[in-house]
Amino acid sequence: MSQDPIGVALVGCGKITKKHIDVIQGIDDLRLVAVYDNQVTRAQAVADAVPGCRVLPDLEAVAGAADVQLGVVCTPSGLHASQGAVLARAGKHVIVEKPMALRLEEADQLIEVCDRFGVKLFVVKQNRYNRPVQAARRALESGRLGRIFLGEVRVLWRRTQEYYDAEPWRGTWLLDGGVLTNQASHHIDLLIWMMGEVESVFAKGRTVMHQIEVEDTGVVLLKFRRGGLGVVQATTCVQPRDLEGSLLLYGEKGTVEIGGFAANQLETWAFQDEQPEDATVFDEWGKNPNVPAFSHREFYLDVVDTLRSNRHALIDGIEGRKSLEVINAIYESMETGREVFLRFEPRRGRLGLAKGTEPR
């Protein structure tokens, strides 16, 4: 027996929403019924292009819409938690773009509200669904990699000053964060997903080329509770074009290197115990299929399956919080010049605070 499509509302109609719209329209179990943006003309342009979609005047109208079962928050990062909580209190399931919040206490509040009102919370970490990443995860779970003793993330991208100037929230502590919060947060999530809980971080960051409040270049050293070490290199200053967004895993029994723009191209697949599947892994799992926004589509299909079957999501609020805690520890280390051990309470980090506000 078929079920009615899940009614979806988009909160925020900025640059990232095109992927969401395209994917939602391509899944029979979803229907985009409403959009809201504080720039009404931007919201109206989206609604005009989607049959049956309407513009709602504010967030409260989205929360009160009877035909909305799932709200997708695509606003500036510093608004994700508070806006998601409004939707959750109204009984809507919630998707939030990365990161789920900027301050840890805001993330905790969002998780608690979703639990209290019995709704699902999903955090967009679509790179986990990349085919090479899925292959690496299976190799890890089957023991083929052995213990990973070293992991590395490289996010070497280019963003112009015009990119930051295009939206007033970009490059601010209050609503965005720097390269490690925005561009590299997906890759940090992948590193943690593969290597487990983080014991400590030591980080340095600089603002090299852009007129912004936050760092555009950073380096992080991580120690993991399982004994492995990790390195994160991230910058938006590479010239003259983007280079890579890579994940490299070095285990006691094998090596997997995933490159491409967004950890979507298998580069190295080498193990002590060769298996028949190794002969075809590059053909079958070396890159994503030629499907628009493939990893976002896989994310949404997982959301649908989770809601239909009432199971746990691959990337719920608890999973989304893990990388956020590490990112907050990174900024704490940058401010103090010290190694920061998890778990911890942020005291000196400025992430999520207005310019000139002193951390407590």
Rounded to 10 deg, the angle between the 185-195 and 131-141 helix axes is: 20
Instruction: Count how many Cα atoms sit within 13 Å of the Cα of residue 248 in the half-sphere of its side chain.
Output: 16
Query: Residue 184: which residues within 8 A CB-CB, separation 6 or more?
Result: 153, 155, 218, 232, 234
Could you read off the pLDDT of 102-131 as tens digits, one per residue? 999 999 999 999 999 999 999 999 999 999
The owner of tokens 């990893």 is 295
Assign 360 a pLDDT band (cuts: 50, 70, 90): low
The answer, yes or no, to whether residue 333 has pLDDT greater than 60, is yes
Give the three-state DSSP class for 251: strand
pLDDT of residue 164: 98
Nearest to residue 127, comparing CAs of 180, 189, 74? 189
Q: How many CB atoms lie within 10 A of CB 280?
A: 10
| Percent of the chain clearing pLDDT 90 (strictly above) | 94
Positive or negative, the Cα torsion across 287, 134, 137, 72? positive
Could you read off the pLDDT of 7-52 as tens digits, one per residue? 999 999 998 999 999 999 999 999 999 999 999 999 999 999 999 9
The answer, yes or no, to whether residue 1 has pLDDT greater than 60, is no
What does residue 219 show for φ and ψ, rounded to 5 degrees?
A: -130, 135
Instruction: Count how many Cα atoms sit within 13 Å of the Cα of residue 96 in the half-sphere of its side chain.
Output: 32
Identity at 101, one-letter amino acid code:
A
Q: How many CB atoms lie within 10 A of CB 141?
A: 9
The answer, yes or no, to whether residue 81 has pLDDT greater than 90, is yes
Nearest to residue 219, comparing CAs of 240, 238, 237, 201? 201
The owner of tokens 């015009």 is 162
The owner of tokens 């019995």 is 118
Please report the DSSP string for 81-125 in residue order.
Answer: HHHHHHHHHTT-EEEEPSSS-SSHHHHHHHHHHHHHTT--EEE--
pLDDT of residue 32: 98
pLDDT of residue 312: 87
Work out whether strand 148-156 and strand 121-123 pair parallel, antiparallel, or are unpaired: unpaired
Is there a shared CATH topology between the 6-126+296-316 domain and the 127-289+321-341 domain?
no
DSSP secondary structure letter of residue 359: P
Could you read off the pLDDT of 245-283 as tens digits, one per residue? 999 999 999 999 999 999 999 999 999 999 999 999 999
Give the three-state DSSP class for 299: helix
- Give the span between the Cα atoms of 187 and 180, in whole angstroms: 9
Task: Work out the mean pLDDT of the chain and round it to a whole number.
Answer: 96
Could you read off the pLDDT of 137-153 as tens digits, one per residue? 999 999 999 999 999 99
For the chain, the structural domain boundaries read 6-126+296-316, 127-289+321-341
Could you read off the pLDDT of 156-199 as tens digits, one per residue? 999 999 999 999 999 999 999 999 999 999 999 999 999 999 99
Pick among 1.10.357.10, 3.30.530.20, 2.60.40.10, 3.40.50.720: CATH of 6-126+296-316: 3.40.50.720
The answer, yes or no, to whether residue 2 has pLDDT greater than 80, is no
> Which helix (H) or strand (E) is 244 found in, with range?
strand 244-251
The owner of tokens 């990699």 is 145
The CATH code that applies to domain 127-289+321-341 is: 3.30.360.10
Assign 356 a pLDDT band (cuts: 50, 70, 90): confident
Beta bridge partners of 355: none
